[in-house]
Amino acid sequence: MRILVVEDEPTLRRQLREAGEAAGYVVDECDNGRDAHFLGDTETYDAVVLDLGLPLLDGLTVLRRWREAGRSVPVLILTARDNWTEKVAGIDAGADDYMTKPFHMEELLARLRALIRRSVGLADPVLRHGELTLDTRSGKVTHAGVAVALTSHEYRVLEYLMHRCGDVVSRAELIGHVYAQDFDRDSNTVEVFVARLRKKLSADLIETVRGLGYRIARP
């Protein structure tokens, strides 16, 4: 899963990036509203952490423009403004959740997980497919009750496909959700990760839909 962190305070932005990466996310970051608006328009994200008090373009304007353009990515507003009228303004602008600084990082990560689950119609933080389970809270994957060690990219591919269980996911979409913006994206590596997952889990878990992409069929 890939998230965008928009925060102009350098220390907090670094903390958010490090916490997100430790939780298994691919994290892009920026420190102003103009760049945030551009990234949200041109890149694919599973969630955004958006500060309101941004230079160049404020967070509410960024959010409104995304929503007016039909961008439905879940957005968690993060701000120092502890004012109920601004919370209402944020929600009315299209925010999915709202946190006030200071905050506990674990709570923010939990809210992000919930936003991502809801965006694909899931309620349980543990994703299941037959004997396969993936715990989005801990990043632990088990198959038939046995823990399976995955690399970070293998985990991201599996997590995204399980979130989209039953849907055909194109190679381009997978690339957009498992690599950061500045990463050298090679579509051939996705095939490598899928092949490794089939070997570690089950040969028929991930179906190749010729000319379209990959799918984990609904159990």
DSSP category for residue 136: T
- As a whole number, mean pLDDT of residues 171-188 equals 75
Average predicted confidence (pLDDT) for the chain: 91
- As a whole number, mean pLDDT of residues 193-213 equals 93
Structure tokens at 178: 């498992």
Euclidean distance between CA atoms 169 and 86, whole angstroms: 37
Q: What is the pTM of this model?
A: 0.84
Domains of the chain: residue spans and CATH: 2-119 (3.40.50.2300), 126-215 (1.10.10.10)
User: Nearest-5° angle of CA 111, CA 174, CA 201?
Assistant: 85
- 113: nearest Cα among 20, 5, 204: 20
The answer on pLDDT for 108 being more than 90 is: yes
Going by DSSP bridges, is the β-strand pair 2-6/26-30 parallel, antiparallel, or unpaired?
Answer: parallel
E strand or H helix at 26: strand 26-30
Euclidean distance between CA atoms 176 and 69, whole angstroms: 19
What would the DSSP string read from start to end of 144-191?
TTEE----HHHHHHHHHHHHTTTS-B-HHHHHHHHS-TTS---HHHHH
The answer on pLDDT for 132 being more than 70 is: yes
Helix (H, G, I), strand (E, B) or coil at 38: helix
Q: Which residue has the higher pLDDT, 110 or 175?
A: 110
Contacts of 3 (CB under 8 A, 6+ apart): 20, 25, 26, 27, 28, 45, 46, 47, 48, 49, 112
The answer on pLDDT for 183 being more than 70 is: no
pLDDT attached to residue 9: 95
pLDDT attached to residue 179: 79
The answer on pLDDT for 23 being more than 70 is: yes
The answer on pLDDT for 219 being more than 80 is: no
Instruction: Report pLDDT digits (tens) over 67-92.
Output: 999 999 999 998 876 677 777 888 88
